[in-house]
Structure 1
Amino acid sequence: MSLAEKICLSAAFLFFMTGLLTGIWKYRHMARSEDASSPVYVDIAHRSSLLYSFAALLLAAFSAHSVLAAWINAAAALAALVFFAFAIGTYVLHGLLQDTDNQLRRPHRLGERLLPPWMTGLFMVLLIVGEVGGTLVLGTGAMLGIWKG
């Protein structure tokens, strides 16, 4: 098994466990709430963790079939997975702080603090490059591997 596959499967496990644990957190809010709801970012953290766990499995499959160099596959996997983890972490943080129901609403907040206007935009650009770029590299390597003739 390649390093990229090991990284992806490890991330899938961590993301899935995060999804299960945030599901308990979500349920506890729902059980105590008058309208059986949880804070927006508790719900988002729960759902995104579960979705990212399966996305990590997909990246593992791409890694397994990629014909690109092992270091390229590992770097591409890390690029995507690190930003998946940052996204989940951001959702968990907003869930804990209960400081917003939309992290992209201006002014951008983190708890009681206002973030510099450029910070969220820069993070989103880096996230897009990391997630889409890493997935594109692994997916392209896999397509080259399965369709070469």
Structure 2
Amino acid sequence: MSLAEKLCLTAAFIFFMTGLLTGIWKYWCMATSPKAAAPRYVDIAHRSSLMYSFAALLLGWFASYSVYTDWVNTLAAVSALGFFGLAIGTYIIHGILRDTSNQLRKPHKLGQSTLPGWLVHGFMIALVVAEVGGSFVLGSGALLGVWQ
């Protein structure tokens, strides 16, 4: 098993467990809320963790068929998985702080602080490049591998 595959499997487990644990948190919020609802980012953290766990498995599957070198596959996997994890972490932080219902709404809040717009949008651009780019590299490597 390549390093990229191992990283993807490890990330899938971590994201899946995060999804299960944030599901408990979501349930607790719903059970103790007069409206029987969890804060938006508690719900987003729960759902995104579960979805990213399966995305990590898919990337691992792509890595297993990819024709690219191990270091290219590993870099692609680390890029995508790293930003999957950062996104989940951001959702958890907003869920704990209950500071926003939309992290992209101006002013960009983080607890009592306001973040500069360039930082938030720069992070989002980096996230798109890393997630889409890493996934594209692994997926295209797999397609080249199975259609050769």
Q: TM-score range by the shorter chain?
A: over 0.9
1:36 CA displacement: 0.9
Q: Distance in 1 between matches of 2:118 and 2:46?
A: 27
Q: Distance in 1 between matches of 2:5 and 2:19?
A: 21
The aligned counterpart of 2:123 is: 123
Return the letter of the residue paired with 1:20: L
Alignment of 1:38-117 (within 5 A): 38-117=38-117
Return the letter of the residue paired with 1:7: L
Unaligned regions of 5+ residues in structure 1, if any?
none
TM-score (norm 2): 0.99
1:35 CA displacement: 1.6
CA RMSD of aligned residues (A): 0.4
**Structure 1 consecutive aligned stretches of length 4 or more whose deviation exceeds 4 Å:** none
Return the letter of the residue paired with 2:31: A
* Matched-pair identity in %: 64
The aligned counterpart of 2:18 is: 18
Residues matched between the structures, number? 148
1:97 CA displacement: 0.2
Unaligned regions of 5+ residues in structure 2, if any?
none
Return the letter of the residue paired with 1:82: G
